[in-house]
A and B are shown apart, each in its own frame.
Chain A
Amino acid sequence: MTRGTVSVMEGSMAVAKAVKACRPAVISAYPITPQTHIIEMLAQMVAQGELEAEYVRADSEFSAASVVAGASATGVRTYTASASQGLLLMTEVLYYLAGARLPVVLTGTNRQVSVPLGLQPDHRDTMSFRDSGVIQLYVENVQEAYDTHLQAFKIAEDHGVLLPTMVCMDGFVLTHVVEPVRILDQVDVDGYLPPYEPVHYLTPERPSVFGSYTDDANTLEFYYLLQQAVLGAKAKVELAARDFRAAFGRSHGGLIDSYGAEDAEVVVIAMGSTVGTLREAVDVLRREGAKVGLIKVRCFRPFPAEEVRQAASGADAVAVVDRAMSFGFQGVLATDVKAALYDAPAANRPVVMGTMAGFGGREVTIDTVREIVKVARQALDGHLPAPDDSNFIGLKPELLPVAGPG
């Protein structure tokens, strides 16, 4: 039996309620669409006395991240949220938070990055933090968004982890959707998430110094420790999900989740809100006779290479649905999936096909998935039109200039 009281609410409200239940001491944010509803609701909760927290209305996303950096170094639980350009503006601070091992939790409400300026969800913004040391969890629906925020604090603040943790949820599709969600009682949340106990923090009683510089004598060792910490977080992501299921009776997966992947010929790998559509597509396509399965990468960093390898290596073909690309190369997730599968025995190493689907906010429907699976089958049969690792699914040729630019 899954716990919590069901009510219908907007995704942003669910996130605000989750954050409130986690009792952050300091919240700081700067408004940007589609993050605004979350921070507005938190501001109201603080103003109405429902949430006892310092709410710092920052002068920029950069300052918002800096405020929570200072607060976290002072030993309290902190929260911020942003999207798109705002996240990019926080970049310098987020790298710092990872290096300084400050367990700030933030929500990345995914939105495309300018130019073109637009509001559509894709993963270019949050995936730009791939190499920062920030833990990233991608959610597929509002319930998972709610539950994962609770888990995020638990993961971030684990004394073996102590890393900033970002919950990534697709803007509008999840932040502005209204749907039923189970909200836990405060006492249940308190039982799951104990108060934050910092290992070191700024206090005159025990003075210490944060933010030193290093040189070639010790920087490599420092990076080694950071890599160990981020890799070590894998077990904690799994543990947080297991504990959550034990306490509340539901799970959205740990590092990954899979659906019909065990006996699938074609496995689709995706992150975020497209995963829900893909679940439906698996059922539809299976009814149509196609042995299709799904792997959800829930934790993008640390990357679950071993888990993906195990879950995908039985398939003949893997199609990766990417909402971010490294221009000049290919989809970001596809690159990682290929790297993970490179270590699989050659005999059960599937063909991997990258697809740019849900990119630029272009929606992924059942038909999109049908097309992806079709292309994957063509790839299997050696009928790929070109060795293209970045199939732009749903591309409108009629919008493209006839000649190239210039």
Chain B
Amino acid sequence: MIEIRIHGRGGQGAVLAAELLVHAAFAEGKFGQAFPAFGGERRGAPVQAFVRLDKSPVRVRYRVYRPDYVVILDRTLPDMIDVLDGLRPDGVVLIDSARPPATLSWSADAPVYAIPATAIAMEVFGQPLVNPAMLGALAAITSEISLLSIQDAFQRRFPGSLGEKNGLAAQMGYDHVLKPDVLPVRVTRSPHVRGVGQASAPDAGLGAPGHPLHFGLVVAPRTSLAYPTGGWRYARPAVDADICNGCGLCVAFCPDSSLTIVEKQAIVDYMYCKGCGICSKVCSRGAIAMMSEEG
């Protein structure tokens, strides 16, 4: 049995990737299971999906704690959560990144393949649909599943030209891994996994983070300040100081209370800003531009 854990962000397709892997394996006469980690999480928040593939029916019903493969659909995730948690000693990591992975924060030593899945997706779809390239790459790395089965699974899910595009992107991910100069990079453990920033300390007591469970689940105010949501962001608002006159329109409309006006200037708190882009749209002077986090 092989066990796979897929890390993504809400809305990114981790659950779909897991599901399609099982469809692909089943078409090859194998058995498997795919399921998400359920939670109240929202679009952009870190999510996980789990896959087990085996020659016989999979009976265990718990999450994958000791993965053979970790598939990371977003290169910012290692900064937010411990994506390598429980990885087997001979485990392999795939991450969507056009850049070498050595610069990322890791919690363990592991061989890491960087797959330019976003770049492939932009070329094929014009949108960052990273799943097919990542699963194509996985097929090239593991002998457990063939590229053809993965392409078929996409084709069945998305009949017609969209399926063909998915098949092409899967092929490109597969081909990338087979290039002679593409080898897994052995990353070494970072001294610590970084958070996206140092969050404000919440009021102590009453079941605040790091405190014992409160018997009646009573919570102190504003403890969410210890939960930075900046990592959910795909694009960041950049305020042009020369244009901004501190009118505060953006502050009024910020769903994440992440904008303030200080000395007639809009200040973004990137620790929490989720990058929705509302501020950029509502600014009557065009002082806020959205910049890609990848850029």
Residues of chain A at the chain B interface (Cβ within 8 Å): 99-102, 162, 200, 207-215, 218, 221-222, 225, 229
| Contact yes or no, B40 A200, CB < 8 A | no
Measured between beta carbons, the chain B residues less than 8 angstroms from A208 are 206, 218-221
| Contact yes or no, A222 B217, CB < 8 A | yes
Q: Which residue of B is nearest A210, CB measured? A: B218
Say yes or no for B216: interface residue by CB 8 A criterion.
yes
| Contact yes or no, B216 A101, CB < 8 A | yes
Measured between beta carbons, the chain A residues less than 8 angstroms from B219 are 208-209, 212
Per-position binary interface string of chain B over residues 193-231, scored 1 when its CB falls under 8 Å from any chain A CB and 0 otherwise: 000000000000010000001011111110000000000
Alpha-carbon separation in the docked complex, A91 to B221 (Å): 30
Q: Which residue of B is nearest A162, CB measured? A: B216
| Contact yes or no, A213 B40, CB < 8 A | yes
| Contact yes or no, B221 A210, CB < 8 A | no
Alpha-carbon separation in the docked complex, A244 to B39 (Å): 48
6 A–B contact pairs at CB < 8 A? A162-B216, A208-B206, A208-B220, A215-B39, A221-B213, A225-B215
- Determine chain A's interface SS by DSSP, over half rule: loop
| Contact yes or no, A210 B213, CB < 8 A | no
| Contact yes or no, B218 A200, CB < 8 A | yes
Q: Which residue of B is nearest A209, CB measured? A: B219
| Contact yes or no, A214 B220, CB < 8 A | no
Q: Given A200-B218, A208-B218, A210-B218, does the pair A225, B213 have CB atoms closer than 8 Å?
A: yes
Alpha-carbon separation in the docked complex, A101 to B216 (Å): 6
Alpha-carbon separation in the docked complex, A100 to B219 (Å): 12
Measured between beta carbons, the chain A residues less than 8 angstroms from B221 are 207-209
Contact of A218 among B206, B213, B216 (CB under 8 A): B213
| Contact yes or no, A99 B217, CB < 8 A | yes
Measured between beta carbons, the chain A residues less than 8 angstroms from B39 are 215
Contacts A207-B221, A221-B213 aside, 11 further interface pairs with beta carbons under 8 A come to A101-B216, A162-B216, A200-B216, A200-B218, A208-B218, A208-B219, A212-B219, A214-B217, A215-B39, A222-B217, A229-B215
Alpha-carbon separation in the docked complex, A293 to B39 (Å): 54
What 5 A-B pairs come out closest when comparing CB atoms?
A: A101-B216, A209-B219, A207-B221, A200-B218, A212-B217
| Contact yes or no, A209 B213, CB < 8 A | no
| Contact yes or no, B216 A100, CB < 8 A | yes
Q: Which residue of A is nearest B63, CB measured? A: A216
Indicate the member of B39, B217, B220 with the most A CB atoms within 10 Å.
B217
| Contact yes or no, A210 B206, CB < 8 A | no
| Contact yes or no, A209 B216, CB < 8 A | no
Measured between beta carbons, the chain B residues less than 8 angstroms from A207 are 221
Measured between beta carbons, the chain A residues less than 8 angstroms from B40 are 213
Measured between beta carbons, the chain B residues less than 8 angstroms from A221 are 213
| Contact yes or no, B216 A210, CB < 8 A | yes
Alpha-carbon separation in the docked complex, A264 to B206 (Å): 52
| Contact yes or no, B206 A200, CB < 8 A | yes
Q: Which residue of A is nearest B212, CB measured? A: A221
| Contact yes or no, B218 A209, CB < 8 A | yes
Contact of A211 among B206, B217, B220 (CB under 8 A): B217
Measured between beta carbons, the chain A residues less than 8 angstroms from B218 are 200, 208-210
Alpha-carbon separation in the docked complex, A200 to B207 (Å): 12
Per-position binary interface string of chain B over residues 98-138, scored 1 when its CB falls under 8 Å from any chain A CB and 0 otherwise: 00000000000000000000000000000000000000000
Report the minimum CB–CB distance from B122 to chain A (whole Å). 35
Q: Which residue of A is nearest B214, CB measured? A: A200
Q: Which residue of B is nearest A229, CB measured? A: B215
Report the minimum CB–CB distance from A211 to chain B (whole Å). 7
Measured between beta carbons, the chain B residues less than 8 angstroms from A100 are 216-217
Report the minimum CB–CB distance from B131 to chain A (whole Å). 26
Alpha-carbon separation in the docked complex, A101 to B213 (Å): 14
